[in-house]
Amino acid sequence: MDKLQTLKGFRDFLPGKMVIRNEAIRRLRAVFEKYGFDELQTPALEYAEVLTGKYGEEAEKLMYLFRDPGDREVGLRYDLTVPFARAIANNPALPKPFKRYQIQPAYRAENTQKGRYREFYQCDVDIAGSSSPMADAEIIAVVNDCLSALGFTNYKIRVNSRQVLFSIMEKAGVEQPRWLTVIRSIDKLDKKTRVEVEAELDTKGITKEQIKSVFEAISKAKPDDFLTTTLAYARSLGIQNTLVFDPTLARGLDYYTGPIFESVVEEPKIGSLTGGGRYDGLLKTLGGPDLPATGTTIGLDRVCDVIEELNLWPNLPKTASKVLVTIFNQNLAQEALKIASGLREKGVNTEVYPSDNEKMEKQLKYADLKSIPFVLIIGPEENEQGVIQLKNMQTGKQETVKIDELVRKLSF
Amino acid sequence: MDKLQTLKGFRDFLPGKMVIRNEAIRRLRAVFEKYGFDELQTPALEYAEVLTGKYGEEAEKLMYLFRDPGDREVGLRYDLTVPFARAIANNPALPKPFKRYQIQPAYRAENTQKGRYREFYQCDVDIAGSSSPMADAEIIAVVNDCLSALGFTNYKIRVNSRQVLFSIMEKAGVEQPRWLTVIRSIDKLDKKTRVEVEAELDTKGITKEQIKSVFEAISKAKPDDFLTTTLAYARSLGIQNTLVFDPTLARGLDYYTGPIFESVVEEPKIGSLTGGGRYDGLLKTLGGPDLPATGTTIGLDRVCDVIEELNLWPNLPKTASKVLVTIFNQNLAQEALKIASGLREKGVNTEVYPSDNEKMEKQLKYADLKSIPFVLIIGPEENEQGVIQLKNMQTGKQETVKIDELVRKLSF
């Protein structure tokens, strides 16, 4: 049979990548739980009816919709928000406000040329059932703590609100049907120059005078009452220098109804890693209950790719194993296993070379390939004297160690 | 829109269930890593060609095969062994022997009447690239440690081998083409009586004399050389009383080529939780490289269901939150948030009631519903005096505590 590949846009996560993914998820989970969010998981497959008619035709072209062996119309999870709405509707006994986090893959038949994956992990944190700015402030605090827990130091959380944007449009005298198209251009000010954005607005038929007024209104914009309270609460939660009011932030999506937030890592320059906001009407539109909601998504694949590419966690061990116990020969195999078993009992992650009939050279090579920090060798002499040879694979140094002292030597 | 359900055989995992699942996975993962297994994850979707032609027609009827939006023939993961073989083939640089664990859902359109899920988690631990009994002994040791780490006390690991079964058939004079059908009946001796199994063999046309010889050969059966070494190694790894040689164990599957093992929890009576064995030819048959392999699967859904049903972990907290900080009113909201932030900084999992405009009664009810152990109340008097009210939700006891003492009170 031919060697078969993974589908385009789908990836194996080999051990080296998994170590980073697991560490990132462990850190994020710890933050979510510190804030009292509980985990929810939903199925990969849903009735097609749950998924379709929610995000427009373009989105539906990217959905994996098909007939299952029982001839039901089904589809793969497209995001975590629709299943969130469906799960709340199906489980009325869930305490409200309902605070949940969810870390699961979603599926979209995207153009892979753009560096997008077709199976990608979403990591969503939401509060459903509170219309208070306190809920928005908690989400902002979660984002702040997540970035900090992941080890990013130079980042900003840009905050704005739908009301601020609308008020800018009103003051600038833009006709209401054009608000969204103007806002979409304004939103690009973090990537384009003012001149470029002005040119774009011009092509959209916005008058020179209106454009001038828009930028004037932006320069004078202030948070509205709701956002002011949100920011005050976020500051009480300890978020100070990282919080920035940015009246040009819009985050494309039309379903936000209040505060909007996005986090941007400035050093290294990698753009936005999280985005979210308040979406009070959406859960109902998606087939869920009529509950106000606010939340954020964290780009887990992006986070992990960036950490790996930039080697942000240089000290993260590449394997969980602390030591490889080699097998000198069949006669000494049982002695080696007893030592391995003793180390494991003491909590030392201990790998045994899984063969009793392999050259020592190959066993050492294996430890090297897997980046296992230490190797134990128990030869005939060592066995007689109740000692072992302990080799530090990084320094190459080898020393004779009494078995009783082994645990101490390996616990650091 | 109507309230839409999950598909039959698919489940939401609500927070109460997730707590148990995460704890089970955490414990299993710790064991796998103690033995030097690294994690592998593979995509949910594969080319249909990767999945089909491997497990026979009956299996293929259960597969979720379809055309993706790009008109490729694809299918959902049916198990973790086929992707394991494919991933090894695709990634020749992986160090060999390759030891991996994998915890991911698989998809089968099973008859749900039998209590089966169509999305179910598999948890596989395998070693590819070693033909030594040492590899089998390591797998047996992993199974033993997993059951022990999950909190089961009264369990046995039944061990046998293909060679022992064939030797029984040979000694009993059964004709070779009938070996597998006889073995399949013999395998039922853990659930049926000897008389019932004899009757079944009779209907299969096995002579009375042969049946008698089979049982005689079983009573005299001894482990072959390979299994003897495997058992000796497993004992050196500290497995003693739980290991049982059982010459009637066959585990149905035809692809095992050496030792076979299965773990059975005897108290509570819940049957087998793990099963595995050596499968030297299989990886190649599945499209992978020609490597000997051995491993086990752990029935994660079963494990979690059993732990939940029997309440085996009564002390596992139902939520990660240690305390709920209530919001007395809007004027005192910022004080409450500062206290919450301080607790979080000290590592106390602290939930803030996410509204600044809710009756205290409802906030307490929320803490109760979520089983949060403590509640903090900061009213006007408390705020003036630099204290808080700390309510123990289990005892109902309420005490006045200085803010400085709070962390100590909540850290236990």
What's the whole-number mean pLDDT along residues A133-152?
97
Cα-Cα-Cα-Cα torsion B138, B143, B144, B150, nearest 10 degrees, comes to: 140
CB–CB contact B99 A33 (8 Å)? no
Which residue of B25, B78, B132, B291 to mutate against A (max A Cβ within 10 Å)? B132
DSSP lists the bridge partners of residue A75 as: A46, A65
What pLDDT shows up at residue B173?
Answer: 93
CB–CB contact A44 B1 (8 Å)? no
Q: Is the pLDDT of residue B409 over 90?
A: no
Please give the mean pLDDT across all residues of chain A. Answer: 94
DSSP letter, residue B3: P
Q: How many CB atoms lie within 10 A of CB B152?
A: 21
Q: How many CB atoms lie within 10 A of CB A156?
A: 16
Cα B99 to Cα A152: distance, rounded to the nearest angstrom: 33
Contacts A238 to B, Cβ<8 Å: 341, 345
Tens of pLDDT, residues B208-248 = 999 999 999 999 999 999 999 999 999 999 998 999 999 99
Contacts A407 to B, Cβ<8 Å: none
What pLDDT shows up at residue B3?
Answer: 52
Q: Is the pLDDT of residue B93 over 50?
A: yes
Contacts B351 to A, Cβ<8 Å: 35-36, 99
Residue of B5, B44, B67 with shortest CB distance to A44: B44
Tens of pLDDT, residues A177-211 = 999 999 999 999 988 999 999 999 999 999 999 99
Q: In what order do the strands lie in the sheet with A374-377?
A: A350-352, A323-325, A374-377, A387-392, A398-402
Which residue of A108, A127, A351, A375 to mutate against B (max B Cβ within 10 Å)? A351
Contacts A67 to B, Cβ<8 Å: 66
| Closest to A63 measured CA to CA, from A54, A71, A51 | A51
Exposure class string for A361-389: b at 16+ Cβ within 10 A, else e: eebbebbeebebbbbbbbeeebbeeebbb
Tens of pLDDT, residues A223-256 = 999 999 999 999 999 998 999 999 999 987 678 9
Between the CA of residue A217 and those of A200, A206, A384, B193, what are the distances in Å? 18, 15, 85, 86
What pLDDT shows up at residue B1?
Answer: 42
A412: confidence class by pLDDT, cuts 50, 70, 90: low
Q: What percent of chain B has pLDDT over 70?
A: 99
Cα A31 to Cα A146: distance, rounded to the nearest angstrom: 6
What's the whole-number mean pLDDT along residues B165-173?
95
Tens of pLDDT, residues B357-368 = 999 999 999 999
Residue of B109, B131, B344 with shortest CB distance to A69: B109
Tens of pLDDT, residues B299-350 = 999 999 889 888 999 999 999 999 999 999 999 999 999 999 999 999 999 9
Strand A45-47 to A73-76 pairing: antiparallel
- Which ipTM did the prediction report? 0.94
Alpha carbon of A167: minimum distance to chain B alpha carbons (Å): 26
Q: Is the pLDDT of residue A383 over 60?
A: yes
Contacts B11 to A, Cβ<8 Å: 43
Q: Is the pLDDT of residue B412 over 80?
A: no
Q: How many CB atoms lie within 10 A of CB A73?
A: 13
Cα A221 to Cα A95: distance, rounded to the nearest angstrom: 38
CB–CB contact A13 B40 (8 Å)? yes
What residue ranges in B111-169 does DSSP mark as E strands? 119-128, 154-161
DSSP letter, residue B41: B
Cα A182 to Cα B49: distance, rounded to the nearest angstrom: 49
Tens of pLDDT, residues B259-305 = 999 999 887 777 789 999 999 989 998 888 999 999 999 999 999 98
Q: Is the pLDDT of residue A1 over 60?
A: no
| Closest to A227 measured CA to CA, from A193, A187, A277 | A277
Alpha carbon of B368: minimum distance to chain A alpha carbons (Å): 10
Tens of pLDDT, residues A249-303 = 998 767 899 999 999 988 777 778 999 999 998 999 888 899 999 999 999 999 9
Tens of pLDDT, residues B26-41 = 999 999 999 999 999 9
Residue of B3, B12, B356 with shortest CB distance to A134: B356
Cα within 13 Å of Cα(B374), Cβ side = 22
pTM here?
0.95
What pLDDT shows up at residue B310?
Answer: 86
Cα B128 to Cα B226: distance, rounded to the nearest angstrom: 18
What values do phi and psi take at B156, rounded to 5? -130, 145
Q: Which residue of B has its CA nearest to A294?
A: B354
Tens of pLDDT, residues A317-373 = 999 999 999 999 999 999 999 999 999 999 999 999 999 999 999 999 999 999 999
* The amino acid at B171: K
What pLDDT shows up at residue A286?
Answer: 87
Alpha carbon of B276: minimum distance to chain A alpha carbons (Å): 17
Domains of chain A: 15-309 (3.30.930.10), 323-410 (3.40.50.800)
Q: Tell me how many helices (H) and strands (E) chain B has.
A: 16, 16
Contact yes or no for B214/B281 (Cβ under 8 A) = no
* The amino acid at B278: R
Which residue of B12, B62, B225, B383 to mutate against A (max A Cβ within 10 Å)? B12
What pLDDT shows up at residue B68?
Answer: 96
Contact yes or no for B323/B409 (Cβ under 8 A) = no
What's the whole-number mean pLDDT along residues A62-89?
96
Which structure tokens are listed for A180? 């969204």
